[in-house]
Amino acid sequence: MAEDNKDFDWETLCFQMITAAGSVKSDYIEALQAAKAGDYDKADELIKSGDASFSTGHDLHTDLVQREASGEKIEVTLLMTHVEDQMMAAETVRLLVNELIALYRRIG
């Protein structure tokens, strides 16, 4: 966090978080489809991949929050709002897919 706010590439950070959130959602939806088809090994692999992407996005988000907490002025833009929306959507998909896969396992 030694970089100045003016030297920090906010746009790149935002797109990295959006990319991570998109990967999370894709992996989790594919995992749900695999579980629905009874392929729990593939579902587990996709869940692990989604977890890794979620961790990446979360780490980037944590860095941003820490920057603001340390006194850096964070300009809230439409892009930043989109990032927050995508991160929340990824977390929602993550939670629901895990619950649905658990149900498929129980009734399968």
DSSP secondary structure string for all residues of 70-102: TTPPPP--HHHHHHHHHHHHHHHHHHHHHHHHH
82 catalytic? Reply is yes
Location of structure tokens 């892009």 = 79
Location of structure tokens 């587990």 = 44
Query: Which of 52, 82, 91, 104 does the annotation list as catalytic?
Result: 82
Of 3, 15, 22, the C-alpha closest to 80 is 15
Catalytic residues: 82
